A and B are shown apart, each in its own frame.
Chain A
Amino acid sequence: MEQSVNAAGDVFTMDPGQVPRHWYNILPDLDIEVPEPARGPSSAPLSGEGHPIQPQLPLSMFRQARSRSRFVEIPEPVRAQYQRWRPTPLYRATRLERELGTPAHIYFKYEGTSPSGSHKLNTALPQAYYYQRSGIREIVTGTGAGQWGSALAMACRPYGIGCTVFMVRCSYEQKPYRGVLMRLNGARVLLSPSEETEVGRAALRADPDTPGSLGIANAEAIEYANSRPGARFSIGSGENHVLLHQTVIGEEALTQMAMAGEFPDVVIGAMGAGSNFAGLTFPFYRAAKAENAGTRFVAVEPEACPKMTRGRYLMDHTDYSGVTPMVKMYTLGHKFTAYHIHAGGLRYHGAAPIVSAMYDKGLVEAVSYGQTRVFEAGVAFAKAEGIVPAPESAHAVACAIDEALEARRRQSRRVILFGLSGHGLLDLGAYEKYLSGEIVDSAPSDADIQASLRSLE
């Protein structure tokens, strides 16, 4: 096994043999309750006497997500696929530190080296593996910015599984090459809302100019999957099993931070539904708890979709149509449609149940940023470190910069670790708009949020 640090001491890499053999399940380490999903008033698609129940999830993945064991073995075929690009590198952002004049040490774990360009392949691959073992011939999904859709399309390919993706319309228009990436991997890509489903047609009737939302795209995917034999709906963000799969990120980063001889005072991740945030932070939560380290964990969300900072902790559906079981989460309401910001991957209305339960008990923090500040941070980072962050990832960059500036004000040493969940090379159109001064901030009013939440009361 080989670990290496470059001559400058700011790049920490590991041998493929050091790809973790287990995912980390945080549930045994939480002394808090994470409420189980519950059936809602309109749950269960195709409900009615005589219809068979179709589980959308392979039992193996559900079993993992409810396991009482800390570690879940990664199937060898999945681990072998991980080894094609993992372990991903950990960097110390020394040039950014110098630019900021901060005594803080800033580290970032970079997931943009994956073939799909983001962390999403970490769960797409095991999902494709388990669905194929279940005899499923087609996976249907919804995607926001397209990182999940392109990762799933890539993952389905080697398993010979068909892939159909409902992509949020405004994100497709902002990032058309994400759709191309999905199609060249054999996926069928439909703009959501679409005319293919009842849900889509209803959303278009209600607002022909709707930008769409991940909630609508997921609802369309569920309806579409239920209409096709051998097809199932898959999700790539806030479910327990998705968070579990993403912990390969944090497990590797734990080793790499040890190579650097440091442990973070604060760990930061962008927050869509929570898989990126959880993937990096959960293993550090375990380690910090064991050492009583006092590490802070900060989820960064867009001001346009402030589910944690301004939402409420309620039982809600994960999809727009309300056919899915209800889960307890910080939510803006499943009918909430965020302004079409460029960080399309962060426009989801709810936070993962595990992350929500932790936030409710003060185990994690949350902050929100407007997109002009996010792009400003993304550009500063790109200039300093030579990597263009995806707009979603740039939320974490903005927060890391603020933490570093705070350390400068206090003249205190602070070790900062953040997740750079993907590159922004398919988001250059958004950066062009920022550089041309066309990016504006937006946030829902209190009345907007209250109106959206009213349906849950």
Chain B
Amino acid sequence: MDRLSDSELTVKIKDAIIRVLDLDLDHERLTDDISLYSSVVRMDSLTLLQLLVTLEREFNVEIDDEDVMNANLDNVGSLIAMIRQAVTGGGVASESGRTA
């Protein structure tokens, strides 16, 4: 995949959030300050993991378990920042849980 600009990457992540959570809005209205628990996003811990697995496939990275557990994910901006870090940093490949 060609290296995406920061804004292109943000849009791609927001589009994935909208698609996985089946949200009825476009990415411009999904602003950083919106709470993940809000009535707009309605995320829970399981849909967060579903989203991360989808994004891993799209960006061909593996997000580290500890990064997810330690992240302070309270709003859309914090979620995008964590994913951006995994994508631009190449993700941290796990040594296990690989499929064959």
A interface residues (Cβ-Cβ under 8 A, vs B): 22, 25, 36-37, 39, 43-44, 47-64, 66-69, 71-76, 78, 129-130, 133-136, 232, 325
Contacts and interface: CB of A to CB of B under 8 A. Distances in A.
Given A51-B74, A52-B73, 19 more contacts: A22-B100, A39-B42, A47-B44, A48-B37, A52-B72, A55-B45, A55-B48, A57-B45, A58-B68, A59-B68, A60-B94, A63-B62, A73-B97, A78-B96, A130-B65, A134-B66, A325-B44, A325-B45, A325-B46
Interface of B: 35-38, 42-50, 52-53, 56, 62-66, 68-74, 78, 94-100
- Most chain A beta carbons < 10 A, residue from B66, B69, B70, B94: B69
A54 B48 CA distance: 9
A22 B98 CA distance: 10
Contact of B45 (A44, A64, A135): A44
B74 A63 contact: no
B73 A133 contact: no
14 contacts: A44-B45, A50-B35, A53-B73, A55-B69, A57-B49, A59-B65, A60-B97, A62-B49, A64-B99, A66-B50, A67-B99, A73-B99, A133-B65, A134-B69
A36 B49 CA distance: 12
Contact of B37 (A51, A63, A64, A130): A51
Contacts, number: 115
A57 B49 CA distance: 8
A47 B44 CA distance: 8
Contacts of A66: 50, 53
Given A53-B36, A53-B45, A75-B96, A59 B63 contact: yes
Contacts of B97: 60-61, 63-64, 72-73, 75, 130
B44 A43 contact: yes
A48 B69 CA distance: 19
4 nearest A-B residue pairs (beta carbon): A75-B96, A69-B99, A44-B44, A60-B97
Contacts of A74: 96
